[in-house]
Amino acid sequence: MNFLKSTLAGSIVFASLAGTAMADDDTIKVGVLHSLSGTMAISETTLKDTMLMLIDQQNAKGGLLGKQLEAVVVDPASDWPLFAEKARELLTVHDVDVIFGNWTSVSRKSVLPVIEELNGLLFYPVQYEGEESSKNVFYTGAAPNQQAIPATDYFLDELGVEKFALLGTDYVYPRTTNNILESYLKGKGVSESDLFVNYTPFGHSDWSKIVADVVALGADGKKVGVISTINGDANIGFYKELAAAGVSADDIPVVAFSVGEEELAGLDTSNLVGHLAAWNYFQSADGEVNAEFVKTWKATMGEERVTNDPMEAHFIGFNMWVNAATEAGSTEVDAVRSAMYGQEYPNLTGGTAVMLPNHHLAKPVLIGEIQDDGQFDIISQTSEVPGDAWTDFLPESAVLMSDWKDLDCGMYNTETKTCVQTLSNY
């Protein structure tokens, strides 16, 4: 019901904006590329609403470079090839100056060749698998060293997990992340036999056998933990099956990388208390900046609406883009890109986000424990961790670095001292 309400409210907001759109030369167009239907709408609709709120706030301040901002919202409908078509539409038909969008990595990789061909600019707000660095993308979500690796360390060091079930939706983000984690865990002494890896389609609903296999993994008495890269509404069935099987967080803890406050809003959380999520932000973070952000969000969208990590990524990315365009005196892509390096903006957890030459942010890592009200108790928080485009835990990537500011290269081999990059072919 919360999801249906938010979708309806967001549609009404956009209809109002679209009806009052100004002439092209009077506005700066901001593309919003998020699924408003299909399996990913449960997560992405809120990000569309976030962008509309941020654009409204900026317009209330006087806009940007003497013009008002105009949101151009399209719905790629959780259809990965359609993301590419909609990105092309935004850039060639609507002539947007920037795009904020995508959730899944498969959708981002669908868009990547289009924005590189047309020299568009994408701000991507969701945690991802790394192993990519495009001149046309600023990655404002977490890289693996800002989420997956710290969460795994928490399982190892704090919870004493000895066996790992790596459960993911079947696409590039879970597969690449789990490939990194398998290598990392084996380096920590975890044997192949103590790892269970499973992938399911988007929208998967029958979790009984998989949960039974996870439970069976601990038949020898070793502590089992689940690292979840399950995306979208498949999480509803997964957590329901855990509860039906009587699996508590004390028995088999789950740490999720794609479940936040928005996803929990549609679940009965009474049986999920104690399970974990790893993000760079939770609504429950203390501090005046976050309190004001949450207050504004609820006043704009409704008291029942929650905030989450990708929203904070859009908050940071949008404001950095505004500041970079102001500094450059232009929304032209190359000018904005040059002005983005070193941009700083307060994050919502009390620190400062910094845009690095590799197009990633420095961000804190937070571990949150699910509470019965659908919020998270923050049980671990680090200082800002610089995002790494290329992991240290895969041999072929460990020698690579990204530096678009000084080296003009996203795939620089530190051993051969050469740029080996071919964009769009990662």
Q: Provide the pLDDT confidence category of residue 125 given band limits of 50, 70 and 90.
A: very high
- List Cα–Cα distances, 400 to 65, 137, 422, in angstroms: 38, 18, 13
Closest CA relative to residue 118, chosen from 81, 100, 139, 93: 93
Tens of pLDDT, residue by residue over 26-60, are 899 999 999 999 989 988 999 999 999 999 999 99
Tens of pLDDT, residue by residue over 353-411, are 999 999 999 999 999 999 999 999 999 999 999 999 999 999 999 999 999 999 999 99
Question: Rounded mean pLDDT of 333-339?
Answer: 98
Instruction: State CA 254 to chain mean position distance.
Output: 19
Could you give the 3-state DSSP secondary structure of residue 86?
helix
Residues 44-48: contacts with CB under 8 Å, at least 24 apart: 44/103, 45/3, 45/6, 45/7, 45/10, 46/6, 46/262, 46/305, 46/308, 46/310, 46/311, 47/100, 47/101, 47/103, 47/125, 47/310, 47/311, 47/314, 48/10, 48/14, 48/73
Tens of pLDDT, residue by residue over 243-279, are 899 999 999 999 999 899 988 887 788 888 999 999 9
pLDDT at residue 7 greater than cutoff 90: no
Average model confidence (pLDDT) for the chain? 92
pLDDT at residue 10 greater than cutoff 70: no
Residue type, 112: L
What's the token pair of residue 268?
Answer: 């009965």
- Say which DSSP state 37 is in: S
Residues with Cβ within 8 Å of residue 59, at least 6 apart in sequence: 68, 69
Specify the pTM. Answer: 0.89
Q: Provide the pLDDT confidence category of residue 421 given band limits of 50, 70 and 90.
A: low
The domain 2-142+286-362 is classified under which CATH number: 3.40.50.2300, 1.10.3720.10, 2.40.70.10, 3.40.190.80? 3.40.50.2300
Q: Provide the pLDDT confidence category of residue 21 given band limits of 50, 70 and 90.
A: very low
Distance in angstroms (rounded) separating the CA atoms of residues 194 and 206 = 24
2-142+286-362 matches 145-283+367-386 in fold: yes
CB atoms within 10 A of CB 378: 17
Tens of pLDDT, residue by residue over 130-186, are 999 999 999 999 999 999 999 999 999 999 999 999 999 999 999 999 999 999 999
Tens of pLDDT, residue by residue over 56-98, are 999 999 999 999 999 999 999 999 999 999 999 999 999 999 9
pLDDT at residue 9 greater than cutoff 70: no
**CATH code of the domain occupying 145-283+367-386:** 3.40.50.2300
Q: In this predicted structure, what is the pLDDT of residue 114? A: 98
pLDDT at residue 16 greater than cutoff 80: no
Distance in angstroms (rounded) separating the CA atoms of residues 290 and 283 = 8
Distance in angstroms (rounded) separating the CA atoms of residues 69 and 57 = 10
Q: In this predicted structure, what is the pLDDT of residue 264? A: 87
Would you list the domain boundaries of the chain?
2-142+286-362, 145-283+367-386
pLDDT at residue 316 greater than cutoff 80: yes
Question: Rounded mean pLDDT of 317-344?
Answer: 98
Distance in angstroms (rounded) separating the CA atoms of residues 309 and 318 = 14
DSSP one-letter string for 315-352: HHHHHHHHHHHHHHTS--HHHHHHHHTT-EEE-TTSSE
Q: Are 258 and 43 in contact (CB under 8 A)?
A: yes
Tens of pLDDT, residue by residue over 104-118, are 999 999 999 999 999
Distance in angstroms (rounded) separating the CA atoms of residues 175 and 391 = 14
What's the token pair of residue 272?
Answer: 């999920």
CB atoms within 10 A of CB 124: 29
Q: In this predicted structure, what is the pLDDT of residue 24? A: 55
pLDDT at residue 100 greater than cutoff 70: yes
Closest CA relative to residue 111, chosen from 141, 89, 143: 89
- Say which DSSP state 312 is in: H
